Amino acid sequence: MSDPEQAQEKLLSMVESLYDQFQEGIVPYLALPSRTKNNIEYDKDGEVWVYGDQKSLRSVKTIRGAKSLLRTSHLVELLIKEHLRHNRGSTLREIYYISENWDLAKFGEQGESDRLVEDLEIVTSLQREDFHVRPEEDGATVFGPLEIREQTRRGMRDIHCQEDVGEAGYQIPFNVDNIQFKDHDARLVLALETGGMYARLIENGFDQEYDVILVHLKGQPARSTRRMIRRLSLELGLPVAVFTDGDPWSYRIFASVAYGSIKSAHLSDYLVTPSAQFLGVQPTDIVDYDLSTDKLTDQDLHALRSELTDPRFETDYWKEQIKLQLDLKKKAEQQAFAGKGLDFVTKEYLPKRLSEMGLI
């Protein structure tokens, strides 16, 4: 993490470059990487997906570009004057509402303001936490044989993520780098898409029987959740498996953990766990276990075909699984295993799959 002075200097440097363009008679612009799947490439050294050389320009030559740079100037002013100089912060949602007072530069929707914060991360090579920008509370949790130390208003406190927490586990803070890992007895990190499956594994004692740290992804995982998983993997040397529903949107949840997401490829070295493995639900599981299914929608079919052209899914494994699912025209949820008994997933499926993967 950067200190406030460094963050301020980088933001000011960006604004000064726009001013210099004015002075030199150049139409002001910002050049940013194009954030599309056609502009991501594999970095063999870091084993992560990063942006390529394609650029998009934000120029005052157009009304849209002029508004974008005006919003950028307003946001930089907010971050420097209110956040960095006074050690205060705002949530992404609050920034959107603050912009309602920017007469000519207000955002039409929060997605626009969120993307502008990401643009500043790319331009400055910093993270939004360096600007004191927080997400809304995401509620993702961890449960398992892990002891941590965290900073609180009353000082440091130690927490065991099995013994000192409730049934839901330890809630991951938005700034995971404030946590220290003290000790653990784990063999594996298991990330789970749904709260129902997370609760099932805790209730069935899967974390204790197999010495597993369970992480509830809560759907598409927040940055803090992905950062937590990466740190558990790298710093504790633990393998990571991701257990999701069997549909194209869930495969993208896995991809955000293992490959990185397209919109945050600039943070891959910070958020991504390249060694993470996909556990299931697999299309082959639908056949092998005769799982209860739903029919793929037109949106599902389109998403699957899109993944076949996504470079992150260009492996024999994913091509075979996706093509099988397109043939089946079916999808299945994690909870479909409950049709074979409440203990089936923890007594049969997971031990078998994890053993086949060499993880237990």
Asked if 206 and 348 count as a contact pair (C-beta separation under 8 A), the reply is: no
> Quick one: 104 exposed, middle or buried, by C-beta within 10 A (0-12, 13-18, 19+)?
exposed
CATH of the domain at 185: 3.40.1360.10
Residues 100 and 193 in one domain: no
What per-residue confidence (pLDDT) applies to 144? 96
Query: According to the model, what pLDDT value does residue 1 have?
Result: 53
The CATH number of the domain where 23 resides is what?
1.10.10.10
Domain co-membership, 224 together with 107: no
Q: How many domains does the chain have?
A: 2
Same domain, 240 and 312: yes
Residues 6+ apart with CB under 8 A from 113: 71, 75, 92, 95, 96, 99, 107
Catalytic residue among 29, 42, 97, 270: 97
Q: What is the pLDDT of residue 278?
A: 96
pLDDT digits (tens, 9 = 90+) for 7-27: 888 898 888 888 888 888 888
Burial pattern 238-257, b for ≥16 Cβ within 10 A else e, equals: bbbbbbbbbbbbbbbbbbbb
**Domain closes at, from 134, 161, 187:** 134
| pTM flag (> 0.85) | no
Per-residue pLDDT tens digits for 109-153: 888 888 888 888 888 888 888 888 887 766 699 999 999 998 777
Range of the domain at 127: 4-134
Residues 349 and 223 in one domain: yes
Whether residues 77 and 172 share a domain: the answer is no
111 with 24, same domain: the answer is yes
- The verdict on 225 and 254 lying in the same domain is yes
Residues 62 and 37 in one domain: yes
**How far apart (Å, rounded) are the C-alpha atoms in residues 33 and 56?**
6
Q: What is the pLDDT of residue 109?
A: 87
| Catalytic residue flag (residue 97) | yes
If asked whether residues 130 and 242 sit together in one domain, one would say no
Report the C-alpha gap between 170 and 161 in whole angstroms: 6
| Residue 312 shares a structural domain with residue 163 | yes
* Distance of alpha carbon 29 from alpha carbon 40, whole angstroms: 23
Q: What is the pLDDT of residue 290?
A: 92
Query: Do 149 and 269 lie in a common domain?
Result: yes
End position of a domain, from candidates 66, 99, 134: 134
**Quick one: 179 and 214 in the same domain?**
yes
Domain final residue, candidates 85, 109, 134: 134
Listed as ranges, residues in the chain with pLDDT below 50 are none
